[in-house]
Structure 1
Amino acid sequence: MGNDSTIAAVFEPLMRAALGSESSVRFEFWDGSAIEPAGVCSGTMRVRSKDALSYMVWAPGELGLARAYVSGNVDLDGDIFKILRSLQLTASDDARLGLDAAWKAMGAARQLGALTHRPTPPPEEARPRRGRLHTRRRDAAAISHHYDVGNDFYRLVLGPSMTYSCARFVATDDDGHAPADGSLTLEDAQAAKHDLICRKLGVAERPGTRLLDVGCGWGSMAMHAAAVYGARVVGVTISREQAELARRRVDEVGLSGQVEIRLADYRELRGEEFDVISSIGMFEHVGTERAAEYFETLRALLPPGGRLLNHAISSPGGSTMTGRSFIGRYVFPDGELIDVGEVVLAMQRAGFEVRDVEALREHYALTLRRWVANLEGGWDQAVALSSAGRARIWRLYMAASALGFEDGGLGIHQVLGVVPDAQGGVDMPGSRRAWG
């Protein structure tokens, strides 16, 4: 390892204890010294300054490391998926840092000035909010933090479909279904997802269906249902930038007579009636405490026979994105992932008969990998459209999320509920074949 005074020599015992001896990541420090991987190198983590240590010392765990990366004091060079997977797989649950190694690490950090002051978090970080979770004002602030970062930035990442939810990489032609192998373009796969939802909701069989799209984003689902199946659609979002662009997109394709985009919270829709409701990638912002109110509100908007398709990320046992986590502080403030079993139970308690549950997690992993490729391919433009920190946030969170969907730590489900009539009947196809 060279001279014992190098930063790598001081920190190697700590890194080996934390990550084990099989890590494939190379660690390079600002003095040029490095800790080499045991085998084939999957990529390099560059610790560029003592400020990186300050972030990690003052906020141990993922938040400190994320701050160091977002601020540019740590770089991840190479295949980010392989780097993150290696760090995840080689970290030993029963690793114990020897007192001597830990003391040496703290001593080195102190000598380098990493303990003298608490560093300021990068400006992209959402500050913890006070007050009760999921009030309308707090939800609006959380949504604005994530979605109002520039429509052009999202267009670069998401591609022409402007759809910020799991695509469906399955062929829909008469020759049958292809495996979820990424053989379709991202735009084709997003259209396939929208089409599947239209068929599950029965929009495809009933031209003129009145559809409510909750959390409509930039209007892609609403436009698909209107253009392909003649639906009359109301889309609601609480992101001002999303609403403005969605309205322009609707006008540009001549669908303003069929599609209305509202800047509104779903809780403001009481008293209206729709034939069917889609909610795609919005439920993650509702929260456990509001789940019953959410489904009861949507149930009240539907007549007997009405259908609701809830498309949402889930986590086994549920997961709250706390202010001590990278995702909670930088990506989805106040976000919660609810176990799909709890989702089904809440829908049934609200008066829905749950007729179908479909898991799509492998498809979301593929979707996220396409988004990361778009971001990395247009990196300089992404930075110019937002900030270097924002681009780093999106790269890290999308890559980590893709791995979560691949290993099953994250799930995503479409849950279809139907409102029974007075005799308990529902009008549904006999099998999934009708949906393709």
Structure 2
Amino acid sequence: MTDAAGRLAALAEEALGAPLPLRVRAWDHSEAGPPGTPTLVVRRRRALRRVLWKPGELGLARAWVAGDLEIEGDLYQALELLAGLLWERGPGSRRSRLAAAFQALRDPALRSAARELIALAGPGLPPPPPPEEARTPWSGPLHTPRRDKVAISHHYDVGNDFYERVLGPSMVYSCAYWEDGPGGTLEDAQHAKLDLVCRKLDLRPGQRLLDVGCGWGSMVLHAVREYGVTAVGITLSEEQAAYARKRIAEAGLTDRIEIRVQDYRKVVDGPYDAISSIGMAEHVGAVRYAEYTTILHRLLKPGGRLLNHQIARRPEPDEEAYRVDEFIDRYVFPDGELAPIGRTVGQLEQAGFEVRDVEAIREHYALTLRAWVANLERHWTEAVRLTSPGRARVWRLYMAACALSFERNRIGVNQVLAVRTPGDGSSGLPLRTRDWRE
């Protein structure tokens, strides 16, 4: 077989109705496509079988995770060039343009192209997904305490050493707040985010804080050190809890901070003066969100504040047809769900909260993700050793693609400040809530 790249490029143009936007190099070392762009390297014919059996993002992602596909050159530029194929929908379809193109190969008019693509892919059964990277499928109701614990373990119990390399010294796995712009450091931006949350919550010495989804303990440590509160942090990850407890002990704060491996539905020791939920609500799910907001409202004392920091998606024309991205669900955040910001605000209000402030910080997350990708690439050899080549490839692709999603306004992130307003209607907030330094 010769000129596999040329044949692939011609077939892609026939199916897509437009030439491929980047260069291709095939397993036979042939190349085709526009020069001066990043190169999509198809290392094995097996990559084509993966995409034929799972058209769209999932097939491409599996080929990437297995090392059947690689990008030479700027990964962000390559994803930008592929964005129209991966994220834009085909005409009259909910499928991506790429998936729609593979579906179109069933058209009799494209039968010869389909046969040639199958011949290029080679014989054999559909290749299994990289087994050590995809989560084990399960059935049953979504977002039960047991299922949520397994899902959280899949993502967060990758290894604390691995996350140290990616997140840096702050060990914060949520959107940072880049007060000094892109020229600042990730550590300063994460410190600024934690401090912004504390100021919005108006934390004072002697108050009691609940941090829902406390991660590796950074929020509770900051709040106790800088604002004199006592704190409880809850997580479903055993590895996160162990790491957080070690940090707290080293800081000499075990008498003021408690870390629990506990589901938010099991917390019964309210009331708290303030609650922070930073990057946790994405795991709650639509079927449980009303329960989540009701529980947090009950756990706050009258006049207490909630800061809910959460990624949001754009509303769908048909909300009933919304589906979680297959790659994210299978390889990254099992059972994770995003909701439009309007729905989140509405459900907080239905639970009894008064929503006082919504701050959109979408661009900040793009900067954060690019910093994490840079950390991962800088420590690539160690990251592979600490996890596996496939797992490191999952995180690199996932974080880079998410950075572009925030930059292109496909998803956003918001901090919502809500109050359990007491019966006399006093919110306790200043008249100018945007100046959180007052």
What is the TM-score with the length of structure 1 in the denominator?
Answer: 0.91
Paired residue for 2:126, among 118, 121, 142?
Answer: 118
Instruction: Give the structure 1 partner of residue 201 of structure 2.
Output: 201
Tell me if structure 2 keeps the 8 A contact 1:19–1:87.
Answer: no
Residue 13 of structure 2 corresponds to residue 16 of structure 1: yes
Residue 408 of structure 2 corresponds to residue 407 of structure 1: yes
Greater mean alpha carbon deviation, residues 155-164 or residues 424-433:
424-433
SS at match of 2:182: coil
Provide the rounded CA distance (Å) in 1 between the counterparts of 2:376 and 2:365: 16
Aligned-pair CA distance for 1:115: 4.8
Provide the rounded CA distance (Å) in 2 between the counterparts of 1:268 and 1:309: 20
SS at match of 1:211: strand
Residue 61 of structure 2 corresponds to residue 61 of structure 1: no
Provide the rounded CA distance (Å) in 2 between the counterparts of 1:117 and 1:211: 55
Instruction: Give the structure 2 partner of residue 304 of structure 1.
Output: 302
Provide the rounded CA distance (Å) in 2 between the counterparts of 1:20 and 1:370: 36
Tell me if structure 2 keeps the 8 A contact 1:57–1:115.
Answer: no
- How many residues get paired? 420
Measured on the aligned residues, the alpha-carbon RMSD in Å equals 2.1
Tell me if structure 2 keeps the 8 A contact 1:322–1:334.
Answer: no
Give aligned-pair identity as a percent. 51
After TM superposition, list the pairs within 5 Å mapping 1:235-314 onto structure 2: 235-314=233-312
Runs of 4+ in structure 1 displaced over 3 angstroms? 17-24, 89-106, 108-115, 318-324
Instruction: Give the structure 2 partner of residue 35 of structure 1.
Output: 32
Does the C-alpha gap of structure 1 residues 105 and 396 become closer, same or farther in structure 2, counting only changes over 3 Å?
farther
Once the two structures are superposed, what CA deviation does each residue of 1:295-327 show, in whole Å capped at 9, x if it has no partner? 100111111100000000000126899576111
SS at match of 1:299: helix
Residue 138 of structure 2 corresponds to residue 142 of structure 1: no
Once the two structures are superposed, what CA deviation does each residue of 1:382-422 show, in whole Å capped at 9, x if it has no partner? 10000000010001110110011011110100001101111
Instruction: Give the structure 1 partner of residue 94 of structure 2.
Output: none
Provide the rounded CA distance (Å) in 2 between the counterparts of 1:248 and 1:190: 20
Tell me if structure 2 keeps the 8 A contact 1:321–1:335.
Answer: no
Provide the rounded CA distance (Å) in 2 between the counterparts of 1:102 and 1:5: 22
Once the two structures are superposed, what CA deviation does each residue of 1:6-59 show, in whole Å capped at 9, x if it has no partner? 21232222222456656542111000112221x631x11110111111111111
Does the C-alpha gap of structure 1 residues 102 and 8 become closer, same or farther in structure 2, counting only changes over 3 Å?
farther
Once the two structures are superposed, what CA deviation does each residue of 1:267-311 show, in whole Å capped at 9, x if it has no partner? 111242210000000000001110110010011111110000000
Greater mean alpha carbon deviation, residues 99-108 or residues 281-290:
99-108
Once the two structures are superposed, what CA deviation does each residue of 1:117-148 show, in whole Å capped at 9, x if it has no partner? 02111020113320000000110111011000
SS at match of 1:221: helix
Provide the rounded CA distance (Å) in 2 between the counterparts of 1:101 and 1:392: 37
Provide the rounded CA distance (Å) in 2 between the counterparts of 1:321 and 1:378: 36
What is the TM-score with the length of structure 2 in the denominator?
Answer: 0.91
Provide the rounded CA distance (Å) in 2 between the counterparts of 1:282 and 1:343: 13
Aligned-pair CA distance for 1:90: 6.7
Instruction: Give the structure 2 partner of residue 397 of structure 1.
Output: 398
Gap runs ≥5 in structure 2: 92-96
The residue type equivalent to 1:106 in the other structure is A
Does the C-alpha gap of structure 1 residues 288 and 111 become closer, same or farther in structure 2, counting only changes over 3 Å?
same
Provide the rounded CA distance (Å) in 2 between the counterparts of 1:254 and 1:105: 68
Greater mean alpha carbon deviation, residues 309-318 or residues 235-244:
309-318
The residue type equivalent to 2:308 in the other structure is N
Greater mean alpha carbon deviation, residues 121-130 or residues 13-22:
13-22
Tell me if structure 2 keeps the 8 A contact 1:55–1:64.
Answer: yes
The residue type equivalent to 2:418 in the other structure is G
Provide the rounded CA distance (Å) in 1 between the counterparts of 2:420 and 2:193: 23
Provide the rounded CA distance (Å) in 2 between the counterparts of 1:162 and 1:346: 30
Gap runs ≥5 in structure 1: 172-180
Tell me if structure 1 keeps the 8 A contact 2:12–2:20.
Answer: no
Does the C-alpha gap of structure 1 residues 111 and 272 become closer, same or farther in structure 2, counting only changes over 3 Å?
same
SS at match of 2:300: coil
